[in-house]
Amino acid sequence: RENQSPPDPTKKTLVILGSGWGSVSLLKTINTSNYNVVVVSPRNFFLFTPLLPSCTTGTIEHRSIMEPIRGIIRNKESDVTYYEAEATKIDYENRVVTIRDHSTEDSKDERQLKFDYLVVGVGAMNSTFGIPGVQDHACFLKEIPDAQKIRKKIMDCIESASFKNLDDADRKRLLHTVVVGGGPTGVEFAAELQDFFEEDLKKWIPGIAKDFKVTLVEALPNVLPSFSKQLIDYTERQFKAEKISVLTKTMVKKVTEDTIIAEATRPDGSKETLEMPYGLLVWATGNTVRPVIRDLMANLEAQKNSRRGLLVNEYLVVEGTEGVWALGDCTATKYAPTAQVAAQQGSYLGGLFNQLARAEDLEQEVRALEAKASQTAEGSAERKSILSEIESRSRRLRRSKSLLPFEYSHQGSLAYVGSDKAVADLTLWAEGNFASGGRLTYMFWRSAYLSMCFSMRNKILVLTDWVKVKVFGRDVSRE
Ligand code: FAD
Ligand code: NAD
């Protein structure tokens, strides 16, 4: 599972971990002919996560938002090696990454990769806060298999609920979906599921209509905490109109195979324990650090006080290291863990590596010219011309070495809230924000995400999926 061209001994080896927003954006920008580039990721494709919630109900087919890593590296300036593997250990002292084959679940095939430069873009895992039962009974929504599992489970619950002689309480339980976490993932999933019910399920399986229910549970006083107040209110009103029940100030404490136990804070400050029977539970309470990153942090003195992820400096160099960079959700920075941030960090690092390569080339040229000058006669015309050449290249070298720190430019936040409506907090000018919600915003949401899809192929597939759903409805078969 690798391109077999041997590494060029004259070039530095750059190992990139991950094939997500950060790493792929770096791959797009970097001139790979300057390095021996090796990409390691257990996922052999890039995933356009903003449209993942739509895959849970079949609004979009999952392959439409996947782009094979092989296709991405094939078009680069020179060969890039790819390993479908997971990094299990980063040994900074010896500059070695241990990677484990990921082609089969029980594979133990490990190998070690030496690196000169390392970029860590492994993203994050779903957080459960150690709440009992979550890991065993909840579905998450981060990767394609998660979306497929949810899609299947929705139909499982509905078909089981339609089975004759089921008692009333059991039928209601199976038709109750609870979404925990009122951040954008939870909100978008709840919206997609309610759309599926209103537009398709109700027509195809009318027997479930009176008991189908979606509940969104959020520990804070409101959903979408990172959006502006006006859009939070709009979303909560919109959910009420769509009959999605929203329980705020409600913290889930425990999960069993069919019930959620939560603690709600009443307006007078008193606490109430709620028990919610469920058929499907989707857990969307944000991110936590992956084991490989936790291990690296434990082995670097400068990282010992970090909890949320790798600390990096303004050039994205991992604190306490040289020649190791990190980007995206595996880092702890002042920015939110979003695709927007990871993608900008990736293209920044791509530019930085191109600049480093230019500086190294110039350094070699200056050294060669200096050696040549030392062999020419003092005061000769040839020597004068070489010295002026050295001067001009040294100036370019100084410019190449003066690196600018990473600067994030926030373009805004978008979220789908159901019934062909979306909310958008946009940054239109340096200090100004523009907030909008509704159908027009939804048209904007669609066109923005369509234009951001990785390739023309992705764009056409996504557009076709939208048209298909408009014409035929979503597919309710269980596979
Ligand atoms: P990821 O994109 O998660 O990529 C991590 C990569 O590392 C993957 O390829 C993974 O397979 C690989 N990997 C994992 N472990 C290892 C290992 N041990 N060794 C090697 N490789 C490894 N953000 C927005 O800005 N806008 C949105 O609309 C939006 N919508 C979202 C919707 C959903 C459902 C989700 C879950 C997230 C959404 N986000 C959105 C957030 C966004 O997806 C993340 O912030 C972004 O993916 C982070 O990029 P990353 O490169 O750090 O990590
Ligand atoms: P999040 O961290 O944004 O939200 C998680 C929510 O879960 C929080 O509001 C938290 O209060 C709540 N929560 C935590 N524990 C709880 C408990 N026990 N009971 C009830 N509620 C609990 O997580 P996310 O929505 O998965 O998003 C992760 C990142 O991805 C964020 O940076 C987000 O901006 C980004 N994202 C963006 C979009 C978008 O822009 N459309 C979509 C999805 C994700």
**Confidence (pLDDT) at 165:** 82
Cβ–Cβ under 8 Å, residues 320 and 300:
yes
**Confidence (pLDDT) at 4:** 52
Residues with CB under 6 Å of ligand 2 are 50, 129, 131, 180-186, 188, 217-220, 225-226, 251-252, 284-287, 336-338, 413-415
Closest-lying ligand 1 atom to the alpha carbon of residue 19: 9
Q: Quote the ligand 2 centre to 132 CA distance (angstroms).
A: 19
**Confidence (pLDDT) at 478:** 79
Q: How far is CA 124 from CA 329, 333, 338, in A?
A: 6, 14, 11
**Confidence (pLDDT) at 454:** 94
Testing ligand 2's pocket by substitution, the residue of 131, 338, 442, 452 carrying the most ligand atoms inside 8 A of its CB is: 338
Q: Quote the ligand 1 centre to 23 CA distance (angstroms).
A: 10
* pLDDT band with cut points at 50, 70 and 90 for residue 430: low
**Confidence (pLDDT) at 2:** 44
Q: Which CATH class is domain 12-124+289-358?
A: alpha beta
**Ligand 1: does its nearest atom lie under 6 Å from the Cβ of 122?**
yes
| Helix (H) or strand (E) segment spanning residue 408 | none
* pLDDT band with cut points at 50, 70 and 90 for residue 402: confident
**Nearest CA owner, ligand 1 atom 27:** 50
Q: Quote the ligand 1 centre to 366 CA distance (angstroms).
A: 42
What does the radius of gyration of the chain's CA atoms come to, in whole angstroms? 26
156-212 confidence digits (pLDDT tens): 999 999 987 889 999 999 999 999 999 999 999 999 999 999 999 999 999 999 999
Classify each residue of 120-141 as buried b or exposed e, where b means 16 or more C-beta atoms within 10 Å of its C-beta.
Answer: bbbbbbbbbeebebbeebbbbb
228-282 confidence digits (pLDDT tens): 999 999 999 999 999 999 999 999 999 999 999 999 999 999 999 999 999 999 9
Asked if the domains at 12-124+289-358 and 134-285+450-472 fall in one CATH topology, the answer is yes
What 3-state DSSP class applies to 170? helix
What 3-state DSSP class applies to 77? coil
What 3-state DSSP class applies to 139? strand
48-77 confidence digits (pLDDT tens): 999 999 999 999 999 999 999 999 999 899
Classify each residue of 9-21 as buried b or exposed e, where b means 16 or more C-beta atoms within 10 Å of its C-beta.
Answer: eebbbbbbbbbbb
Distance in angstroms (rounded) separating the CA atoms of residues 394 and 414:
46
Characterize the bridge pairing of strands 250-255 and 259-265.
antiparallel
Contacts of 130 (CB under 8 A, 6+ apart): none
Q: Quote the ligand 1 centre to 123 CA distance (angstroms).
A: 5
Testing ligand 2's pocket by substitution, the residue of 185, 261, 333, 442 carrying the most ligand atoms inside 8 A of its CB is: 185
Q: Quote the ligand 2 centre to 284 CA distance (angstroms).
A: 6
**Confidence (pLDDT) at 403:** 86
Write out the DSSP string of 379-390.
Answer: T-HHHHHHHHHH
Distance in angstroms (rounded) separating the CA atoms of residues 221 and 228:
14
Chain mean position to CA 456 = 21
133-158 confidence digits (pLDDT tens): 999 999 999 999 999 999 999 999 99
1-49 confidence digits (pLDDT tens): 444 567 888 999 999 999 999 999 999 999 999 999 999 999 999 999 9
Q: Quote the ligand 1 centre to 49 CA distance (angstroms).
A: 7
Q: Which ligand number lies closest to the CA of residue 129?
A: 2
Q: Quote the ligand 1 centre to 339 CA distance (angstroms).
A: 7
ipTM for the complex shown:
0.99
**Ligand 1: does its nearest atom lie under 6 Å from the Cβ of 72?**
no
Q: Quote the ligand 2 centre to 33 CA distance (angstroms).
A: 39
Testing ligand 2's pocket by substitution, the residue of 223, 285, 340, 441 carrying the most ligand atoms inside 8 A of its CB is: 285
Whether the per-residue pLDDT at 219 is higher than 90: the answer is yes
> Which sequence spans correspond to the domains of the chain?
12-124+289-358, 134-285+450-472
DSSP 62: G
**Ligand 1: does its nearest atom lie under 6 Å from the Cβ of 338?**
yes
* pLDDT band with cut points at 50, 70 and 90 for residue 431: low
Closest-lying ligand 1 atom to the alpha carbon of residue 122: 7
* pLDDT band with cut points at 50, 70 and 90 for residue 364: very high
Average pLDDT over residues 330-354: 97
**Confidence (pLDDT) at 1:** 41
**Confidence (pLDDT) at 344:** 98
Distance in angstroms (rounded) separating the CA atoms of residues 230 and 228:
6
Q: Which CATH class is domain 134-285+450-472?
A: alpha beta
**Ligand 1: does its nearest atom lie under 6 Å from the Cβ of 25?**
no
**Confidence (pLDDT) at 5:** 64
**Nearest CA owner, ligand 2 atom 31:** 337
Q: Quote the ligand 2 centre to 285 CA distance (angstroms).
A: 5
